[in-house]
Amino acid sequence: MRTKKKLPTRTVDDTAIQTADPEIAEVIGADEEPEADEGQVVDLITGKPVKLTSKEAVRQEEERKLLEEFGYPESEKQDLIRLDFRVKPQQGKARRLPLVVLRPVGNGGSTKPEDRLYILIDIQPEKTRLDDPKNGSESLAELLRDTPNAEFAVWTNGTERIVWWKEAGRIKIRTKLISDIPRFGKGAEDCFTLDKQALRPAGGLSLRQAFQRCHDHIYANRGGSNEAVFWEFLKVVFAKIQDERRLQQAAAAGQPAERLFRIASLEERNDEKKAEAVKRRLEQLYGEVRAAYPELFGSQTDEIDLSGPILSYVVAQLELYSFLESSVDVKGEAYEAIVGKNLQGTRGEFFTPRNAVKLGIRILDPKPGDKCIDPACGTGGFIVVIMNYIAERLKRDIRARGADPDGRDSADYALQLRLASQRIFGIDINPNLVRVARMNMVMNNDGQGGITHLNSLDRPENWRFPEGKHRFYREDGSVGEESIEAFFRRELVEGTFDICATNPPFGTKIKIEGALLSQYELAHKWTYDASRKTWSPTPVLQTGVAPEILFIERCVRLLKPGTGKLCIVLPDGILGNPDDEYIRVWLLKHCEVLALVDMPVELFLPKVGIQTHLVFLRRKSTDEMNQESLSGEPASYPIFMAVAKKVGKDRRANRLYKRDRDGRVLEHFRHLDGVDYYQISRTSTVVDFEPEVDEHGRMVDDDLPFIAKAYHEFLAKKENGQLDYDR
């Protein structure tokens, strides 16, 4: 049996991960009494533990919206927001509602809660239908009509969400559907304002739930396949984004602009004929979208194939959210949820979890100006995070110069961002996923020109590109134009990329065969020389090779020799199987191993159960390889290694939270030594990659943010010569 050379390593154990933040580590090890027992959660309003049922989870989300999205003050929440409140109508029986909102006590006004009723909120089990005769939304509308002082009502079952407004006429009291309740301190007019300030960033699950409601409503009322519904819905989403960009550009130029993506009156929400006005405004916006992104939305005659009433419903769900101001994670989770429901393929395609993507990009640390690629980009998870990472780095660089990227210097920032986006590329063999990835990039940072439909594993000379023109920005801000083929032929060249990050297709029985194998060393059969203890490729090709093996070689060859860095998700077998030793030999010959992160099987569950590593490599220069060949020994260097035991979810994708030594969920992170880790989590960027903390003060049990922090501490010591390791 031959012995295998061991690379000198520097490992980071679980203790190092947990103590990456001493304050957090102290609480993790504390024996304080938790605020809630197993299966409970601390209520956001009362501060008391309640049993966490599916219905309770919906109530907590509605409470979060009231506090964060509608601006109800923390200092008054227990007075203004009441739980399990008994509502007595003028006629009929009293009814206990899970949640109500009261008006503030006015000068000389009544202090009785029943006299201050303002918003009624009914939460029904998920299976309750909207039109249920006893517990549906119409029964709540009837209660609203018969309850003095109450002006709004919200009915939800966690999926559907309907908002009623009571219009008190001189003869008859009517209830009308509206988009949402007004913000704190505002009245009904707030629901129909043209003011851009009415838009609010989405938080929590709100955007994901809104996307799901829209999709389900279109599917139920338009018909057609899931895929057809998906593309029609995305037209509306892009019309929304276009409207926000119009407003943003007009504000920067000091010009007035009318918000078009809106419900302008009660009639547009409640009258089918009046709803056609909503459709006309969206068609205007979609015309601008087609002109801006012809490669995404087809011909100039393409239209939104949805009726006015359907569009009225969809606009009502989305209009008050600011897509541009919502966090990357909130938009990403909403988008991926709707994509995953409609377009998941059968080639081993599945999303790379966002926390793993963030870890990969945080370790690679791309800089503005770096040329980056994902040759198996799927829906664009890696390239979107790269783009947002670079965008945040640009903002910080501009602020460091004393400039303001969000104010007076926004034009300079926008140009720098466009230039950076032109150096980010994505390739995928599935044309539908390419389109989805382009849309994903546009939703986040308006860069999508570098994504194209190709077989990354084919010979570059065989790549075929669509006809048409590619527009690009120069450093002086002027716009140039060239053919799409000329652009990609110039840019998609091996040995020119600073960063490559990818999750290639694996876990599939499909193997790559045929003529394209001859371009890969790893596609040849290899032999082992026992006397020299070396592996060598033979002239004979294998009959078939797993795609992930070929992607390893393609990715390495895409990188700049000497400096290019790679993050690749690989199945454990490649790193440990005896039959795959030749792959590891090839990798060690061509690359320096920067880091290895062992992922638990839960990372990709419940979609697929496979053990993986995140592997980080730097491509060696020709001089490095020649020097090692002459010496007969590989260079000795430290390698960062970590084992992620927890990734924030269990095998069924249920969220996991940090627990104390007795196994009880910790809920101390909203107010820990004067620090609100929830607010830090909400406002952190991918550059920070802070641990996720929810509104209840629970920290998600995820080792990956701590591994990222530990890696950069390791890197600083390595660069300063402070590491002690066995050579």
Residues in contact with 159: Cβ distance below 8 Å, sequence separation at least 6, in sequence order: 126, 209, 212, 213, 216
Provide the number of structural domains found in the chain: 4
Mean pLDDT (whole number) for 36-58: 85
Q: In 3-state terms, what secondary structure has residue 304?
A: coil
User: Could you tell me if residue 711 is inside a domain?
Assistant: yes
State residue 15's pLDDT score: 41
User: Could you tell me if residue 433 is inside a domain?
Assistant: no
State residue 727's pLDDT score: 56
Residue located via tokens 């594993």: 457
State residue 299's pLDDT score: 65
CA angle 397, 354, 319 (to 5 degrees): 80
State residue 17's pLDDT score: 40
User: Could you tell me if residue 485 is inside a domain?
Assistant: no
With contact defined as beta carbons under 8 Å apart, do 568 and 502 qualify?
A: yes
Could you read off the pLDDT of 228-281 as tens digits, one per residue? 899 899 999 999 999 998 888 888 778 888 899 998 888 888 889 999 999 999
pLDDT at 9 over 60: no
The H or E element containing residue 618 is strand 612-619
Amino acid 13 reads: D
Q: 345: pLDDT confidence band, cut at 50, 70 and 90? A: low
Could you read off the pLDDT of 303-328 as tens digits, one per residue? 899 999 999 999 999 998 998 888 88
User: Could you tell me if residue 139 is inside a domain?
Assistant: yes
Check whether residue 581 and residue 631 sit in a common domain.
yes
The percentage of the chain sitting over the pLDDT mark of 90, rounded to a whole number, equals: 50
Check whether residue 218 and residue 173 sit in a common domain.
no
- 586: domain CATH number is 3.40.50.150
Cα atoms in the Cβ-side hemisphere of radius 13 Å centred on 11? 8
pLDDT at 455 over 90: yes
Could you read off the pLDDT of 122-154 as tens digits, one per residue? 999 988 988 898 999 999 999 999 998 899 999
CB atoms within 10 A of CB 697: 23
Closest by CA position to 439, among listed 306, 551, 336, 553: 336
Amino acid 429 reads: I
With contact defined as beta carbons under 8 Å apart, do 647 and 356 qualify?
A: yes
Check whether residue 111 and residue 220 sit in a common domain.
no
Q: 638: pLDDT confidence band, cut at 50, 70 and 90? A: very high
Q: In 3-state terms, what secondary structure has residue 486?
A: helix
Distance from C-alpha of 486 to C-alpha of 482, rounded to nearest angstrom: 7
State residue 350's pLDDT score: 62
State residue 7's pLDDT score: 37
- 127: domain CATH number is 3.90.1570
Check whether residue 96 and residue 215 sit in a common domain.
no
Q: 331: pLDDT confidence band, cut at 50, 70 and 90? A: confident
Mean pLDDT (whole number) for 656-663: 84
State residue 169's pLDDT score: 58
Mean pLDDT (whole number) for 106-117: 85
User: Could you tell me if residue 142 is inside a domain?
Assistant: yes
State residue 38's pLDDT score: 65
Report how far Cα 69 is from the mean position of its chain's Cα atoms.
Answer: 19
Check whether residue 556 and residue 655 sit in a common domain.
no
Instruction: Measure the CA dihedral 532/533/539/544, to 10°.
Output: 170
Distance from C-alpha of 400 to C-alpha of 407, rounded to nearest angstrom: 15
Check whether residue 654 and residue 638 sit in a common domain.
no
Distance from C-alpha of 439 to C-alpha of 242, rounded to nearest angstrom: 13
With contact defined as beta carbons under 8 Å apart, do 613 and 597 qualify?
A: yes
Distance from C-alpha of 560 to C-alpha of 676, rounded to nearest angstrom: 43
User: Could you tell me if residue 256 is inside a domain?
Assistant: yes
Distance from C-alpha of 28 to C-alpha of 244, rounded to nearest angstrom: 43
Distance from C-alpha of 334 to C-alpha of 206, rounded to nearest angstrom: 9
State residue 36's pLDDT score: 58
Check whether residue 610 and residue 667 sit in a common domain.
no
Distance from C-alpha of 482 to C-alpha of 464, rounded to nearest angstrom: 16
Check whether residue 143 and residue 164 sit in a common domain.
yes
Greater confidence, 627 or 192? 627
Distance from C-alpha of 351 to C-alpha of 380, rounded to nearest angstrom: 9
Mean pLDDT (whole number) for 416-426: 93
Does this model's pTM top 0.85?
A: no
Distance from C-alpha of 544 to C-alpha of 67, rounded to nearest angstrom: 58
Residues making up the chain, counted from first to last: 727
SS3 letters for 242-301? HHHHHHHHHHHCCCCCCCCCCCCCHHHHHCCCCCHHHHHHHHHHHHHHHHHCHHHHCCCC
pLDDT averaged over the chain?
Answer: 86
Distance from C-alpha of 81 to C-alpha of 66, rounded to nearest angstrom: 9
**Enclosing domain of residue 24:** 12-32+650-719
Q: Which of 464-473, 493-502, 524-533 has the highest mean pLDDT?
A: 493-502
Last residue of a domain, one of 643, 678, 695: 643
DSSP assignment of 641-676 equals EEE---BSB-TT--B-B-B-TTSPBP--TTSBTTB-
Tokens at residue 645, please? 């035991």
Check whether residue 121 and residue 245 sit in a common domain.
no
Q: 610: pLDDT confidence band, cut at 50, 70 and 90? A: confident
Check whether residue 237 and residue 116 sit in a common domain.
no
* Torsion sign across C-alpha atoms 237, 238, 243, 249: positive
Q: 192: pLDDT confidence band, cut at 50, 70 and 90? A: low
Instruction: Measure the CA dihedral 548/552/554/558, to 10°.
Output: 140
With contact defined as beta carbons under 8 Å apart, do 67 and 183 qualify?
A: no
pLDDT at 28 over 90: no
Q: Helices 276-292 and 308-318, interaxial angle, to 10°?
A: 70
User: Could you tell me if residue 434 is inside a domain?
Assistant: no
Residues in contact with 408: Cβ distance below 8 Å, sequence separation at least 6, in sequence order: none
Last residue of a domain, one of 643, 663, 685: 643
Last residue of a domain, one of 172, 193, 214: 193
Check whether residue 16 and residue 73 sit in a common domain.
no
Check whether residue 598 and residue 682 sit in a common domain.
no
The H or E element containing residue 386 is helix 381-400
Closest by CA position to 614, among listed 352, 372, 418: 352
User: Could you tell me if residue 472 is inside a domain?
Assistant: no
